[in-house]
Chains A and B, each alone.
Chain A
Amino acid sequence: AQSVTQLGSHVSVSEGALVLLRCNYSSSVPPYLFWYVQYPNQGLQLLLKYTSAATLVKGINGFEAEFKKSETSFHLTKPSAHMSDAAEYFCAVSSGFQKLVFGTGTRLLVSP
């Protein structure tokens, strides 16, 4: 069965610092992988997705993620954090049957 593990329920960075949010997956088939962002009292917004094309995926708002099969990882990065990046981030893997399995989320805190 497919599953996702997000390391760290909270990550704190200073404005301008590198953002690194970790995601490891387990999948019995070549996976589709996703990162979503959720701002307070809103739904989830798709940041980026991996669908077996390029291993380095660029998304919106300056985020990118690299698919590493050998490490079963799909970590999300951004070179320089902005205050507006403070939100909850969810990694997800396609479970097949057109369903997604979500991680428990990582709250990103950005300090001035």
Chain B
Amino acid sequence: EADIYQTPRYLVIGTGKKITLECSQTMGHDKMYWYQQDPGMELHLIHYSYGVNSTEKGDLSSESTVSRIRTEHFPLTLESARPSHTSQYLCASSEQGSSDTQYFGPGTRLTVL
């Protein structure tokens, strides 16, 4: 099972601020993912990466951006946060040839005032 970490766990910020949500995994997984989840709702894939220097947009359009400079690190950035960005953000990773099993971090709950 993957060890995958997200910081901060909770964040309350004002409109217009730039924020970065951190995600790190220690298992050397090539693939990493970001999901957005509103309370009591399904998960929507917003970004994914197949490896270093690889990033792709997911099924749900998002104003956030991601980078993958190191295998273990997949941060998500919002240049100018808005109340519509209020949500839970979940990071996941998976190993090549693992039947697509994804392992999730604990999530970051973002509130934009």
| Per-position binary interface string of chain B over residues 77-98, scored 1 when its CB falls under 8 Å from any chain A CB and 0 otherwise | 0000000000000101010000
* B residues at A contact (CB < 8 Å): 1, 4, 6, 31, 33, 40-43, 45, 48, 50, 90, 92, 94, 99-107, 109
Of B1, B41, B105, the residue contacting A104 (CB under 8 A) is B41
With the chains together, A90 CA to B41 CA distance in Å? 10
With the chains together, A105 CA to B43 CA distance in Å? 9
30 sample A-B contacts, Cβ–Cβ < 8 Å, listed by A number: A32-B99, A32-B100, A32-B101, A36-B104, A43-B4, A43-B6, A43-B107, A44-B90, A44-B104, A45-B104, A46-B101, A46-B103, A49-B101, A51-B99, A90-B42, A90-B43, A94-B99, A98-B31, A98-B48, A98-B94, A98-B100, A99-B48, A99-B100, A100-B100, A100-B102, A102-B43, A103-B42, A105-B40, A105-B42, A107-B40
Closest 3 CB pairs of A and B: A43-B104, A94-B100, A44-B104
| Chain A contact residue count (CB 8 A cutoff) | 22
**Residue A70 at the chain B interface, CB threshold 8 Å:** no
With A43-B4, A43-B105, A99-B33 given, name 7 new contacts (CB 8 A): A32-B101, A43-B90, A94-B100, A98-B94, A99-B45, A100-B100, A102-B43
Q: Is the CB of B100 within 8 A of A41?
A: no
Closest to A88 in B: B40
**Residue A34 at the chain B interface, CB threshold 8 Å:** yes
With the chains together, A104 CA to B28 CA distance in Å? 30
Closest to A96 in B: B100
Q: Is the CB of A98 within 8 A of B109?
A: no
Closest to B95 in A: A98
